[in-house]
Structure 1
Amino acid sequence: MNDETQTRTALLGSSSDAATRVFTTILTRSPISRIDVSRLTGLSQAAVTKAVTPLVAAGLVNDSLEATPTGLPGRPVNPVAVVPDAVVALGVKVNVDELVGVATDLTTRIISSDRLPLTSHDPVAVADAIVELYGRLHEGLGGLKSRLACIGVAVSGDVDSETGVVRDSAQMGWRGVDLGASLRERLSPSIVVVNDVSALTIGEHWFGVGLGTSSFAIVTIGRGIGSGLHLNGEVVEGAYGVAGEIGHLPLTSRDRICACGRRGCVEAVAASSAIVAAVSAAHDSPVSLEEAVDLARAGDTAAVQAFGEAGAVIGAAIASLVNMVGPELVIIGGEGVANFDLFEETLRRTYAEHVFGSADRCRIVVRPHTFEDWARGAAATAIRSLVV
């Protein structure tokens, strides 16, 4: 990081609440007029101008764009816009079998991406792999290397984003792993370790379908069943870093044991590993997820039942979530949506049976996410840590 980038990140970190609101609005809605910034933030135009001036001086915001007509009497409006490559971020998604990394600009446009297989879940080995992936992504930045300011690392499970400690990750088999400290000893940019679904929610909040929506939830389906919450304009992280863990709601039989060690969790029926286990047991032979999908599409009774049961319990979990917090929108994402047709009917039917009153106005939409999208969310979290 050069002196110019340090100055920019220091400015963002020391900004007043008003300046932070102004920059965040410009960042997520560029190009935008000062009048609209004022309207969206509730600040006076004078306060907006005061906040924009140092951002322009630091090279974070451009106020020299061509004026645009408003269709109203008076002078055209001069919009302002974030300078995308003023700061660069890296995002890393930690999966059970690989790392997926992206380098992005301030708007989380992906500049480059890379993947690295994970051969061990040992925390030291994973940290080594993250450092290796960092080196590959950093090298690929070329002339933008000096603008790299922050890194976001997204991990499944209970993660303390304040300290970087992964308190509990069933997928990785970790308890009390201080991944943040391990990485800070070896990498110079600012580092944030965050729950993966929270990272995805932050990315959707700032730059995805959640932009302009006051309350929404993301439910992810795949290796795990996760949820991220954005309520009343803020991403909910919980007092202890845990919020929206619908995968561990006790909504199924106690004889179903979850990977977390508890009984009756949603994931014990609906995670991809649980579906594979059910189909394998029914056929008295191990099958892969792809084979389970093929069997279900061919009408195999056991496979159809396994996916149907998963859909039913996910539908009940989403209804519980909607009943409790009342979002406008639920986004269903994750790698499992590739097979959404196998459980959509039972999911929507069970959801409709359990959602209460006017909460049923909540829309449910499906949005496929690649693992690069998850890594992009990690980068968005790192950028957010500079700003908020």
Structure 2
Amino acid sequence: MPLRPHRPLPLATPAGVEVLTRILTQGPIPRVEIARRTRLSQAAVTKAVAPLIETGFVTDQAAPADEDSQVGLGRPVSPLTVVPSSVSVIGIKLTPASLIGVTTDFTAGILNVRHEQLDDTAPEAVIDRLAEHVKGLIGALKSGTAVAGPLAGIGIAVSGDVDAANGVVRDSPLMGWRGVPVAELLGDRVSLPIVVSNDVRALTVAEHWFGVGVDADSFALVTIGSGIGCGLYINGEVVSGAYGVSGELGHLPLAPGELVCTCGRRGCVETVASSDAILARIRDTTGRQDLELAGAIELAHAGDPQAGAAFNRAGEVIGAALAAMVNLVGPEVVVIAGEGVAEYELYEERMRRAFADHAFGAAGNCRLMLRSHTFDDWARGAAATVIRAYVRAEPPLTR
């Protein structure tokens, strides 16, 4: 099934992994700058880079130096950059209603997109559809005009508690799954390495390697939609947690205790602030059970008091939850993303006010940044987890 046989990266040492990571996430970048940022000698950088260039994963692009060049006026510099077409990756975002798949190159640049509707969330039915979805994505790669490298693996992103080390979805309330061995089941149908991740953590990996995390020392990614998730990048790494659970902002007990969450617990932030909770509240208070989310947003924009109150309540709880998270881990910036940002302006003022009220001291200096994400971006996040595992030789992509 792979386009070409999977080939390992020629990285024999941790220094080699660090050098390639810098080139991948910060390139084009000269050797001297890699040495400065990694605190390796230039000789060590050259030794690590040589086999990557020889095998076609990295290229050396000579260009004239400008006046600010660190290697001297008038001398040529040789920035290193990853060859995007040296590797291909598949990433799939799984929701209760659809499969969103992408193929990407080595830099997580999207090559192809494939969407399919799901009408059955039973694990075996979904895995069968996943296998066919993968075959369709591979077919698109084979027939595409872009040059595609060997397939490194498949990334699957799903909401909930995911045991990434074993590829098991332990608990996904949105999917209605408990203890589903996704990697094992899908591996019986397709012969490629499979990385299964929590969807928010996968999106955080993409931001870490190819987005805001490239320039930030620390950040949090908060996603607002049918659920509320949070990914954390602290001290140079995406936080996974000792048990594979971390950043569960949506399940902080900051909402009224009489409200029951989809997880079965009471008072979770999601019971007030998720898109589904906001819509349910507006339906109940207006008596309009036929309302969809777009109609509820229109009502709020038109000044309907019940609709406005629902969004205000959501903003209050989200702001308090953000402050609690920032007080605990102190990120430099919080990126707010997800499908729920469509109604962001309806609760932004209340959210920022609640955040300011509850953030302690200098934690209030944390920047809150809005970034729109599509479902294709979530699938790209799944692909990014494969790229990271491939570079680091993490299971199931060990060398």
Same fold (TM over 0.5): yes
Amino acid corresponding to residue 197 of structure 1 in structure 2: V
Deviations 1:236-263 (A, max 9, x none): 0111111100100000111011111100
Structure 1 contact 116–129 (Cα < 8 Å) conserved:
no
Specify the SS of the correspondent of 1:368. Answer: coil
Specify the SS of the correspondent of 2:319. Answer: helix
Match of 2:251 among 248, 266, 269: 248
CA distance in 2, matches of 1:347, 1:73: 51
Amino acid corresponding to residue 35 of structure 1 in structure 2: V
Structure 1 contact 68–79 (Cα < 8 Å) conserved:
no
Query: 1:16/1:3 Cα in 2 relative to 1: closer, same or farther (>3 Å)?
Result: farther
Per the normalisation by structure 1, the TM-score is 0.96
Deviations 1:6-27 (A, max 9, x none): 33x2535xx3211000001001
Gaps of 5+ in 1: none
CA distance in 2, matches of 1:372, 1:54: 33
Specify the SS of the correspondent of 2:113. Answer: strand
Per the normalisation by structure 2, the TM-score is 0.93
CA distance in 1, matches of 2:240, 2:138: 30
Amino acid corresponding to residue 327 of structure 2 in structure 1: N
Question: Which deviates the most, 154-163 or 139-148?
Answer: 139-148
Gaps of 5+ in 2: 393-399
1:50 maps to 2:47: yes
Query: 1:31/1:186 Cα in 2 relative to 1: closer, same or farther (>3 Å)?
Result: same
1:17-36 maps to which residues of 2 (within 5 A)?
Answer: 17-36=14-33
Query: 1:2/1:340 Cα in 2 relative to 1: closer, same or farther (>3 Å)?
Result: closer
* Aligned Cα root-mean-square deviation (Å): 1.5
CA distance in 1, matches of 2:3, 2:13: 22
Match of 1:169 among 157, 169, 172: 172
CA distance in 2, matches of 1:110, 1:92: 12
Structure 1 contact 138–145 (Cα < 8 Å) conserved:
no
Specify the SS of the correspondent of 2:195. Answer: strand
Query: 1:197/1:11 Cα in 2 relative to 1: closer, same or farther (>3 Å)?
Result: same
Structure 1 contact 2–146 (Cα < 8 Å) conserved:
no
1:266 maps to 2:269: yes
Query: 1:68/1:190 Cα in 2 relative to 1: closer, same or farther (>3 Å)?
Result: farther
Query: 1:87/1:337 Cα in 2 relative to 1: closer, same or farther (>3 Å)?
Result: same
Percent identical:
52
CA distance in 1, matches of 2:245, 2:4: 36
Structure 1 contact 26–32 (Cα < 8 Å) conserved:
yes
Deviations 1:164-194 (A, max 9, x none): 1001101001111111111111111211000
Distance apart, 1:74 and its partner CA: 6.3
Q: Look up the match of 1:66.
A: 62
Aligned pairs, how many? 384
Structure 1 contact 26–82 (Cα < 8 Å) conserved:
yes
CA distance in 2, matches of 1:165, 1:78: 44
Match of 1:324 among 304, 323, 328: 328
Q: Look up the match of 1:96.
A: 96
Q: Look up the match of 2:354.
A: 350
Deviations 1:90-116 (A, max 9, x none): 100011210111000010110010101
CA distance in 2, matches of 1:27, 1:73: 27
Structure 1 contact 70–77 (Cα < 8 Å) conserved:
no
Amino acid corresponding to residue 384 of structure 2 in structure 1: A
